[in-house]
Structure 1
C-alpha cells in the first residue's frame, strides 16, 4: 500500500516540480504566436483550450497501453512501480514535452521532419519509414482488437465489426480535428480517468494487501528485467508512439505555456493510470502467479473485465467494455491521422494536390494497408510494435538532446534518458522472440557496445558544441 501511494505521490510531485524545470530549460515563450493562429486552416490547425488538448493528448497516447501493458508488466512484480515512476518523470514526460514543443516551434511539423532538422536527412529518411510503419501497425492493431470484442458481445461478425471501426477511423482522419476528435475525446478522456480512479479507490478499500517494494519481492519472475520490462511497459513510462501524436495537439495550442499542462501533464496522467492497473494486477489475483494464469486464460481484456466487475459491480463491467472498445479506437484513429500527416509531408513535393483532394488521397494510401493488416491476429501485430516503439522514443530523445546542444541549453535532461533508451533498444532487438533471438549475455554485450559507440558520438557532439560556443565568444570579443 505504501509503495503504491508513494509512487502516485512521486508522479504528482514530478509534474509539480520537474515539469517546470523542463519548461524553463526549453524556454516556453507566450509572446510567440502558435501555429494554431499563424497557420490556421480549419482542418488540423485549430485553436483549442489547454484542458481539451490535455484530454485529447491523453487519449491519443493511451489507448489500452497503460492498462494492458501495465498488467503484463505487473508479472515482473513491484519493480514495475520503479520503472513507471522514474521512466515517466525523467524520460517519458520529457520525451512527450519536447516532441510537442519542438513541433510547436517548427510550425506544427511532424516527427520525421523534426528528426531531420537535428539528426540529418539520413535519419529523417529512416524515421519516416519507421514511424509510418509504426502508425499503420498501431492503427491496424487497434482496429482488430475492438472489432474482436464487438463481435464477441453483439450479433455482428468480425468482418462487419471491422468495417464499422475502420469507417470511423477514416472519418476521424479526414474531418477537421474539432468536428469529431475535439468534441468527443474530452468525454472519453473523462471516462478513462474515472475508470482508473474508481479502480484505484476500490482497490485501496477492498481489504486486499497491495504489495510493497522489498528486496524479497522486487522481481519474483525468471525473465530478465532489463530490457524486457522497459519494452513491456511503454505507455505509462516512455513510448515513441507519443512523438507521433504530440504534433496533432501542438497544432491546437493557444500559447506555449500550455505545453507543460498538455504534454507533460498527459504523460503523468498516463503514468498514474499504469500504476493503478499494475497494482490491481499484482493484488487482485494473489500475486504474479495468479495474474499469469488469468492472463493465459482470458487475456488482458478478460483480466480487465474480471477486475472491474469484481471491484465495481455492474458499473465496472460497463466501464471495462467501454475502456477495451473505446480506448484502442481513440488511439487507432489518431494513429491513422498522424500517418496521413506524415505521408503528406513526405510526398508534398511529389503530389501537387492541395486541400481535401490531398487529404483523401493520402488517407487512402495509408488506409488500405491498415485495413489489410487489421485482418491479421492482434497479438502478432502487437509483438512488432514494441521495439519499433521504443526505438522511435530513443530517436526522439536524441533529437531533443541535439536541439538543446545547438541552443546551448542544459542537454543532459534529454541526453541521459536517451542513452538509457539506446541501451534498451540495442539489447532488446537481439534478445527478443521477434528479434534475433540471441542468448541473453550476447544480446547484453551487443547492446552495451552499441550504447558505448553512441556515447562517444554524444561526447563528440558536446565537444563540437563547446568549440562553436568558444568561437562565438571570441568573435564577439
Structure 2
C-alpha cells in the first residue's frame, strides 16, 4: 500500500513542480485567446476554468484510464511506475502542448498544428489519420454501451423493441449527431462537468473501499518487481501500449483543441490540460491498484483478474465497484460503463468535424455547413458500428500511442523554433517512438516478429527519429 501512496504523492507533486516547469517553458501570456477573439457561439465559446477542467477530463478519460489500467495490472504493481512517471513526463507534457499549440494557432485541430511545425506531408497524413481514428473511437464507444444497456434491460426482464442492440446503437448515434452539431456550451458545457465529477467520485469510492476492507491489500512494487503477466507477455512494450490513456494517449491531442477554443486566458492551460492529465493518472493509478488488490495474487496476478477481464470492460468495472462499494457502486458503475464512453464518443465525432472543417476550410457558423460534415461522419459511424467490434478495436492502442509520438515531435519542433528547451518533449517523443515501433514490429496484429528482432528495431528506429529531429535543428530557423 505504501507504493500506491508514494506514487499518488509523486503525481500530485508532478503537477505543481514539473507541470510548472513545462508551463514556464511554453511561457503563456496575456494575448487574446481564440475564444475571445473569434467567439462564434458554436465551437469558440468562453467557459469558466472549472468547467474547462471537468469537460477536458471527461473528454480524455472515458473508460481509458479504467480499463487500460486494470489490464496493465496483469503485469503487477510495476504498472504503477509507468502510470506515475508516464503521466508526469510524457502524458501531461503531451496534453499541455497539444492544447496550448492549438490555442496559439486559432484553436486549430491537431492535424493542422502538426502541419505547421512538421510540414505539409505530415499535415495530410495526420488529417487522414485523425479522422479515421476519431470515427473509430466514436463508433466503438457507441457499440459497447448499446450492448450493455440491452444486457441490463434483459436482466431486468424487459423485452420488446428497446431490448435490441440495433435500436440503442441508432439512439446513441442520434445523440452523437445532436451533440456534435449544436453549440459546445448547450450540452457538453452544461452536463459533462457533472459526469466528470461522477468519474472522480467513482475512483474515490473504489480506493476508499480498498483501504477500509482488510481483505484487500495493494501489493508493493519492491516486493513484486517482476513480470507477473499470466500469459508471459513482455513488459516492453506491451504494458506501455496497453495502459494507454492512463499514462499518455494521442487521442487526448484530438480533444485538447476543443477546450483550447474555450479558454479565456492562456494561463488556464496548466490547470486544464496538464491538470486533467494528472487527474486521469490518479484515476488510472486507483484502478490499477484495484486490479492488483481485489483479485487473487498467489502465483502472480492471474486467476481472478484475467478471468474478469475476459468478460469485457463492463463486467470488470461492475465487479470492482460491487466489491469495493457494494450497492452504491452499481449506480456509479453504470455511469462509468455507459455514460463515460458515450461522452468520449460524441466529442470524438465533434473533433472529427472540426478536423474536416479546418482541412477543407468550411466555415462552421452556419447550420448548413455543419450538416455537410455531420451527416457523412455519422453515416460512416453507423457503417463501422455494424462491423466486427474486435476488428475495429484491434489497432486502436497502437495508433493511439503513435499519434502521441507524432504530437510530441511536433511540440519539439515548436520549442526549437522558439529557441526554448526542446528536450522536455524530445525525450518523451524518443521514448514513445521506441515503444510504438517495438510494438509494431512484434505485436501479432502488426508484423508479429520475435522480440529478438523487435527490441533492437524499436531502439534503432527511435534513434533514427531523434537523429532526423537533431539534424533539422542544425538548419537556420525561418523568420515567422
Which residue pairs with 1:275 in the alignment? 285
- Which among 402, 409, 427 is matched to residue 413 of structure 2? 402
Residues 101-137 of structure 1: per-residue CA shift (max 9 Å, x gap): 0001111000011000000000111111111111011
Q: Check whether the contact 1:151–1:158 (CA below 8 A) recurs between aligned residues.
A: yes
Q: Check whether the contact 1:35–1:108 (CA below 8 A) recurs between aligned residues.
A: yes
Mean Cα displacement is larger for which, 51-60 or 443-452? 443-452
Which residue pairs with 2:323 in the alignment? 310
Which residue pairs with 1:171 in the alignment? 178
Cα distance in structure 2, aligned partners of 1:448 and 1:71:
28
Matching of residue 205 in structure 1 with residue 212 in structure 2: yes
Which residue pairs with 1:58 in the alignment? 57
Which residue pairs with 2:393 in the alignment? 382
Residues 239-278 of structure 1: per-residue CA shift (max 9 Å, x gap): 0000000000100001011010000000000000000000
Which residue pairs with 1:413 in the alignment? 424
Correspondence 1:330-409 to 2 at 5 A? 330-348=343-361, 355-409=366-420
Matching of residue 161 in structure 1 with residue 168 in structure 2: yes
Which residue pairs with 2:150 in the alignment? 151
Matching of residue 324 in structure 1 with residue 331 in structure 2: no
1:449 Cα offset (Å): 2.0
Q: Secondary structure at the match of 1:233?
A: helix
Cα distance in structure 2, aligned partners of 1:377 and 1:176:
33
Which residue pairs with 2:15 in the alignment? 15
1:379 Cα offset (Å): 3.5
Q: Check whether the contact 1:92–1:267 (CA below 8 A) recurs between aligned residues.
A: yes
1:352 Cα offset (Å): 8.0
Q: Please, which runs of 5 or more residues in structure 1 have no aligned partner?
A: 472-477
Give the root-mean-square deviation of aligned CA atoms: 1.7
Q: Check whether the contact 2:430–2:463 (CA below 8 A) recurs between aligned residues.
A: no
1:217 Cα offset (Å): 3.9
Cα distance in structure 2, aligned partners of 1:461 and 1:205:
55
1:460 Cα offset (Å): 1.0
Which residue pairs with 1:430 in the alignment? 441
Q: Secondary structure at the match of 2:286?
A: helix
Which residue pairs with 1:289 in the alignment? 302
Which residue pairs with 1:439 in the alignment? 450
Which residue pairs with 1:117 in the alignment? 116
1:426 Cα offset (Å): 1.0
Q: Check whether the contact 2:40–2:365 (CA below 8 A) recurs between aligned residues.
A: no
Cα distance in structure 2, aligned partners of 1:215 and 1:278:
16
Instruction: Mark the CA change 1:399 to 1:296 in structure 2 (over 3 Å): closer, same or farther.
Output: closer
Q: Secondary structure at the match of 1:214?
A: coil
Q: Secondary structure at the match of 1:463?
A: coil
Q: Check whether the contact 1:282–1:291 (CA below 8 A) recurs between aligned residues.
A: no
Q: Secondary structure at the match of 1:218?
A: coil
1:439 Cα offset (Å): 1.3
Matching of residue 182 in structure 1 with residue 193 in structure 2: no
Q: Check whether the contact 2:210–2:217 (CA below 8 A) recurs between aligned residues.
A: no
Q: Check whether the contact 2:357–2:363 (CA below 8 A) recurs between aligned residues.
A: no
Cα distance in structure 2, aligned partners of 1:182 and 1:40:
15
Matching of residue 226 in structure 1 with residue 221 in structure 2: no
| Number of equivalenced pairs | 466
Matching of residue 252 in structure 1 with residue 248 in structure 2: no
Cα distance in structure 2, aligned partners of 1:381 and 1:407:
40
Cα distance in structure 2, aligned partners of 1:448 and 1:160:
48
Cα distance in structure 1, aligned partners of 2:52 and 2:115:
26
Cα distance in structure 1, aligned partners of 2:312 and 2:477:
55
Cα distance in structure 2, aligned partners of 1:212 and 1:307:
20
Mean Cα displacement is larger for which, 173-182 or 312-321? 312-321
TM-score (norm 2): 0.94
Cα distance in structure 2, aligned partners of 1:385 and 1:16:
32
TM-score (norm 1): 0.95
Matching of residue 195 in structure 1 with residue 202 in structure 2: yes
1:468 Cα offset (Å): 5.1
Instruction: Mark the CA change 1:84 to 1:353 in structure 2 (over 3 Å): closer, same or farther.
Output: closer
Q: Check whether the contact 1:71–1:300 (CA below 8 A) recurs between aligned residues.
A: no
Q: Check whether the contact 2:296–2:305 (CA below 8 A) recurs between aligned residues.
A: no
Mean Cα displacement is larger for which, 33-42 or 380-389? 380-389
Which residue pairs with 1:241 in the alignment? 251
Q: Check whether the contact 2:150–2:164 (CA below 8 A) recurs between aligned residues.
A: yes
Q: Secondary structure at the match of 1:257?
A: helix
Q: Check whether the contact 1:75–1:291 (CA below 8 A) recurs between aligned residues.
A: no
Q: Check whether the contact 1:78–1:219 (CA below 8 A) recurs between aligned residues.
A: no
Cα distance in structure 1, aligned partners of 2:303 and 2:422:
44
Residues 54-85 of structure 1: per-residue CA shift (max 9 Å, x gap): 00000000010101111111101111100000
1:376 Cα offset (Å): 2.7
Cα distance in structure 1, aligned partners of 2:168 and 2:189:
24
